[in-house]
Structure 1
Amino acid sequence: MKIAVTGLRGIPGVMGGVETHCEEMLPRVKHIAPDAEIMVFARAPYMRESRYAYRGIDVIAVPSPKSVSLEAIVSTFNAILAARRAGADIVHIHAIGPALLAPMARILGLRVIVTHHGEDYNRAKWGRFARTMLKLGERFGTGWAHQVIAVSPSLAARLRAKFPGAASRITYIPNGAPELPVGATGTLARLGVAPQGYLLAVGRLVPEKGLHDLIDAHALAGDPRKIVIAGGADHASPYSRALLERASESVIFAGLQDRANLRALYENAALFVMPSYHEGLPIAALEAASCATPMLLSDIQPNRDLGLPVAHYFPVGDVKALAVALGRSADEFAVDAASLRRRFDWEAIARSTSEVYRAAAA
């Protein structure tokens, strides 16, 4: 069985939830089904070479502009053509923007799987036309795919209600809580922070991550701890530039960090804060949980799908409520890391995904 995967920038070490999902899941699928040939068609601007192997996965560059509005659809178009030329049996499309091309893949004779990672049309960065196209991608992906994967239970329920004709083809398979690698040294010293002396946020510098709310709440609370924000902006924007201008001695933009350095940051943070307005099933929160980092999250449904006690959530967009929460003891935000790892286990996720592949190929 030949499986082509598209819709992501690339793997490994590329910032993004879809990218982390594929980096964790695909090698495990390969281990379960060693006879399967898995090809990731990645976007050329994000790749270090035109072709290489990663843990048994063949990673192949396809032409793509580095453009916030064009790269997903152009790279997916090229990936589907490349998959057809390579003799793929299945094309696995990640995210609803690339899913606009699910009909094309079907017409070319490919079996199609779409993973819905979240309602991207709710992202603040998109205008009316882009949101319309994303909603159409959701409709095309759900309607034309042989199998659909939703990464959160609430998302799966909404899709079944919205597209009842596709309900039997929609499967809930979550993101997982990974065990990040050890071995980073000097991470905190390079950033000028001390263990338990900082709040940590991890994510791209885009409006829907709500990082501006965290900075505002931190100032309002007079919190003596520093903020460390790990992540960057794929595409410079007025928002990202304005956010970076708020850097100070107490607000540290750490940029993109590798997984070992992220582990060091999670394990030494006083509190992980996710003030997002939009998520799928948040991988950064699952990483924090896996490291047993105390967690405070906005109360959007994808965050609540993690199943933490109510005290771990604050009303999304409410800076005053977030400031009050920052004044509480970090002990109140402790998490049961072992329980979360059992519930969001990448090995089980890979087994479930392998079953979807078999169902799509049947």
Structure 2
Amino acid sequence: MDSARSRLCVTGLRGIPGVMGGVETHCEELLPRVAVSAPEFEIEVLGRRPYMKGVSDRCQGVLITSLPSPRQSHLEAIISTTVGVLYARWRGARVLHIHAIGPAILTPFARLIGLKVVMTHHGDDYERAKWGRFAKFMLRTGESWGLNCAHRVIAVSPSLAQRLARQYPSCAEKVRYIPNGAPALIDDELGSAEILSRFGLSARKFILAVGRFVPEKGFDYLIDAFRKSGTGRKLVIAGGADHGSAYARKIMSEAGGNVILTGQQPRPVLKALYENTDLFVLPSFHEGLPITALEAGRCGAPMLLSDIQPNRDLGLGAANYFPVGNADVLAEKMGKPSVEFSVDARDLHDRFDWDQIAQHTLAVYREAERV
């Protein structure tokens, strides 16, 4: 490393590139852009080895390091982040960027050993259905310790930033609202026609949902609503499960007929699906600021989103939302012409531009380094 450059380590994520997850997509879009504009920083992503097989040691100017980690939903975040904090200190990092409130429980330790810490709050993870009482307590603790101990805090939605400022008034001055972005995805070399053929699909003849098979995504009631709707289209769910669970097995058991599960797909394949779907549906009970919806909207897909606040933070029209968890209303809306749910792709790009987001994030890094 050039002695004139400061090392900036990033932890709390599974890894990049091509690793499934909202935080991972966020970092894959953000960090290479920051690297282009930040000659003073050497950026190093500290990923979790079980998710990073075959990943190279550099991605568009960002160093990639895979560190030991268990692949167990209740332990991997805390253990991998502990390893990441120690590694960052050993590497002489000046700034450590911790993503998500679970890993943020290590913020006091990171400060204790001399690191300048930026924490990104991606959403209220303690609202996720998969967590028990103790895990939710730990996540709330991570939020509190992250807010109080980080030098700067980034919130990915305006409602989240406002809530944090109200709940932690003594920390309000260090909270910055910097959203997720609406990226321009690249085309797959196979072409859309071949991708659709692979899954037995025709353009504008299917409804699309994208995400991990976890309860808060609401795919179970989406499938119920789809069957109630009587639509002649197919339902495609692109995604998979990081960890085996009864919920994931339930979703996978629904495959067949007009319900198609594609498994996790690379983003060029997702682009072909977004551009050719008749309707994109996000039925989530919990989100941060939904990157899949931003991707779908940027690709021009008509959209139906549950009316949770993070989805409303996208600022779409009233017709684009339905009551979260209400399969009957969702079924009714899925039976209507998709033109009723059109969105303005250009507006989403202008309001959620990754290049601007990278500049705002770089400004936060520079603030934290000077504190």
Q: Which category describes the TM-score, using the shorter chain as reference length? A: over 0.9
Question: Which residue of structure 2 lines up, in the alignment, with residue 158 of structure 1?
Answer: 163
Work out whether 1:79 is the aligned partner of 2:87.
Answer: no
Listed as ranges, the matches of 1:268-287 within 5 Å are 268-287=276-295
Structure 2 unmatched ranges of 5 or more: 1-5
**Partner Cα separation in structure 2 for residue 309 and residue 97 of structure 1:** 33
Distance (whole Å) between structure 1 residues aligned to residue 257 and residue 270 of structure 2: 20
**Contact 2:282-2:293 within 8 A present in 1 as well:** yes
User: For residue 134 of structure 1, what is the aligned residue in structure 2?
Assistant: 139
- Residue correspondence of structure 1 range 179-190 to structure 2 within 5 A: 179-183=184-188, 184-185=190-191, 186-190=194-198
Q: Secondary structure at the match of 2:119?
A: strand
After superposition, the C-alpha distances for 1:89-110 in whole angstroms (9 at most, x for unaligned) are 0000000000000000000000
How far the C-alpha of 1:213 sits from its partner, in A, is 1.2
* Secondary structure, counterpart of 1:328 in structure 2: coil
> What is the alpha-carbon root mean square deviation over aligned residues?
0.8
Q: Which residue of 1 aligns with 2:112?
A: 107
Is 1:310 the counterpart of 2:324? The answer is: no
1:163-178 equivalent positions in 2, closer than 5 A: 163-178=168-183
Q: Any residues of structure 2 matched to 1:21-100 within 5 Å, and which? A: 21-49=26-54, 52-100=57-105
| Aligned match of 2:3 | none
One-letter identity of the residue aligned with 2:8: I
Q: Which amino acid aligns with 2:303?
A: M
Q: Deviations over 1:318-343 (max 9, x none)?
A: 01010111111100111100010000
Equivalent residue number for residue 253 of structure 2: 245
Letter matched to residue 256 of structure 1: Q
Distance in 2 separating the partners of 1:221 and 1:46: 38
Could you say which residue in structure 1 is the equivalent of 2:228? 220
Return the TM-score normalized by structure 2.
Answer: 0.97
Which residue matches 2:303? 295
1:36-87 Cα deviation digits (max 9, x unpaired): 1001000010112586011111110111000000011100000000000000
Where structure 1 has 5 or more consecutive residues not aligned to the other structure, the ranges are none
1:117 equivalent in structure 2: 122
Q: How does the TM-score come out when normalised to structure 1?
A: 0.99
Count of residue correspondences: 362
Distance 1:49 1:189, change over 3 A: closer
2:201 aligned with 1:193:
yes
Give the C-alpha shift of residue 34 in structure 1. 2.5
Match of 1:257 in 2: 265
The residue aligned with 2:328 is: 320
Distance 1:243 1:62 in 2: 31
Question: SS of the counterpart of 2:73?
Answer: coil
CA distance in 2, matches of 1:179, 1:48: 26
* Counterpart pick for 2:275 among 260, 267, 270: 267
Tell me, in whole angstroms, the C-alpha distance in 2 between the residues paired with 1:218 and 1:259.
Answer: 25
Secondary structure class of the residue paired with 1:341: helix
How many Å separate the matches in 2 of 1:182 and 1:220? 34
CA distance in 2, matches of 1:223, 1:216: 12
Deviations 1:115-162 (A, max 9, x none): 000000000000000000000000000000000000000000000001
Write the distance in 2 (CA, Å) between the matches of 1:292 and 1:219. 25
My pick for the range that moved more, 47-56 or 173-182, is 47-56
